[in-house]
Structure 1
């Protein structure tokens, strides 16, 4: 399997895992909300490591806010970022016409 495809699959699997970890706060009431205080900065840091550059920094900020605000944990920010990076952004590149 090509290296680029390995990275794509690894990012998807890690993203699903990280989103699942973020959603664990729904499973354990009250304690789960406290866990968000620890998970929010960690998830933001992980996002910036997985996706480099300004887009990764922006996604890290969004992930931090999503994790720190109670009730928003249901948003799968890592998976959405994966779709943006590997599906939507790629489709956008394919649509450009070179002259």
Structure 2
């Protein structure tokens, strides 16, 4: 499995974690941080802010922010240019 599809699977898993009720206070900032680590540069920072806002707003958890960002990065813009393809999340 290529690195971009591993990132897709990780994105889907992270979106599913966001569906768990009552963890929004903890998950919102964490999801924003993870988004900035998965997707580098300005688009990662913007996506991190969007992910944070989406997770902190009640009942908006159904929006698959990580998966949408993957689609934007690999389908609509034909591959990442600012990312070396590595999946690294440092805590």
**Larger RCO (alpha carbons 8 Å, 6+ apart):** 2
Cα RMSD after superposing both structures: 1.3
Choose 1 or 2 for highest CA Rg.
1
Aligned residue pairs, count: 79
Higher helix share: 1
Q: List alignment gaps of at least 5 residues for structure 2.
A: 80-91
* Alignment correspondent of 1:29: none
| 1:59 and 2:55 correspond | no
* Alignment correspondent of 2:85: none
TM-score by length of 1: 0.76
Q: List alignment gaps of at least 5 residues for structure 1.
A: 26-31, 92-99
Cα offsets for 1:2-53 (capped at 9, x unmatched): xxxx22011101100000000111xxxxxx1xx1000000000000000000
1:68 to 47, 56, 66: 56
